Structure 1
Amino acid sequence: MEVKIGVQNAARELSVDTDEAPDTVLEALQGALGDDRLFSLTDAKGRTVAVPADKVAYLYFTAEGGRKVGFGLGTSG
């Protein structure tokens, strides 16, 4: 699943491909907000992204749809 993290005062969002469930990610953010610490998320390849929890503007979850490979879906002639 892909999680997009919006960060206050940042022009771009962070995108993390993780194996964590949305509920687990939300619980981690809530815990980080309660303790005034960093919110961190580890991706499927073991890389970790950390953001001050109070600077997280939003989380956007997308289902893994698989990546498309190639130049097009159809062929001609």
Structure 2
Amino acid sequence: MEIRIGILNSPREIGFETSQAASEIEAAVAAALEADAKLLSLTDSKGNRYIVPAAGIAYVEIGSEESRRVGFVG
């Protein structure tokens, strides 16, 4: 699943693929924002960790859980 995180006052966004379920990502983001946590930590499918200041999150886009098709669709 593809995750994109927009950062306040930054023209770029963070994008990565993760094997976590959409509900897990949503719960982690909601918990960080509701608890006034300083940081949000997420892990991609390769094991890389992304740590984002929770106060700087503009938006989180959670893609579909369906994997992308490769090749021609007929």
The question of a shared fold, defined as TM-score above 0.5 by the shorter chain, is answered with: yes
Counterpart of 1:65?
68
Structure 2 length-normalised TM:
0.80
Amino acid in the other structure paired with 1:49: Y
Residue 45 of structure 2: aligned partner: 44
TM-score after normalising by structure 1: 0.77
Matched residue count: 69
C-alpha deviation, 1:39, in angstroms: 0.5
Query: Take 2:38 and 2:31, find their aligned partners in 1: how far apart are those partners?
Result: 9
Q: Provide structure 2 residue ranges, at least 5 long, that are not aligned to the other structure.
A: none
RMSD: 1.6
Q: Which AA in structure 2 matches 1:21?
A: A
Task: Write the mapping of 1:5-16 to structure 2, written as runs, cut at 5 A.
Answer: 5-16=5-16
1:37 is displaced (CA, Å) by: 2.1
CA distance in 1, matches of 2:69, 2:40: 27
Matched to 2:52, the amino acid is: V
Structure 1 unaligned regions, length at least 5 = none
* Structure number, greater radius of gyration: 1
- What is the rounded CA distance, in whole Å, between the counterparts of 2:6 and 2:56 in structure 1? 9
Cα–Cα, structure 1 residues 15 and 66, in superposed 2: closer, same or farther, change >3 Å? Answer: farther
Q: CA deviation at 1:66?
A: 4.1
Identity, % of aligned pairs? Answer: 36
Inter-CA distance 67–42: structure 2 relative to 1 (3 Å threshold)? farther
CA shift, 1:32, in A, is 1.4
